[in-house]
Amino acid sequence: MRNLFAVPVTLFSFAMLACGPSAAPEQQTPAPTQQEQGLNAVGQGCSADTQCATGLCWTESDSYPLYNPQWIAADQCTEECGGEGDNAYCQQLAAEFNAPYPNQARCIPARGVYDNYPYDDIFYVCDLIPAGLGKVHWVE
């Protein structure tokens, strides 16, 4: 008697496999191809360190008299460099971020460019504005 039930159940199982998946469509969400960070990359404009993926936002007022805030307002997310004359690192960084003029990037002194650094001190940062990165606004 057992064999009588086994044959229909087996045939039913094969029929279900041959028909494919059930009639209810499955919704699959595509796997994310890239994680969005939401922070500005090197060379993009900024107004605070917290906006930069590197945690370092440079503005022209940090580097007076190299930049005079009376005639230019500029900002960029950037990185530290080794000191005056360490232009090669900054030029390499500018090239990595597809700057139009990477050879114009330079390492400049800047005062207290970290938001969370309470002391008046000199840091050296990559100035990517001449390389064509960051934002420049001419003061009228």
pLDDT tens digits, one per residue of 37-60: 579 999 999 989 999 999 999 988
Domain extents for the chain? 49-134
pLDDT tens digits, one per residue of 63-101: 888 888 888 889 999 999 999 888 999 999 999 999 999
C-alpha 41/C-alpha 32 separation (Å) is 20
pLDDT tens digits, one per residue of 4-34: 445 444 444 445 445 555 555 555 554 444 4
> In Å, what is the CA distance from 21 to each residue of 24, 25, 30?
8, 8, 19
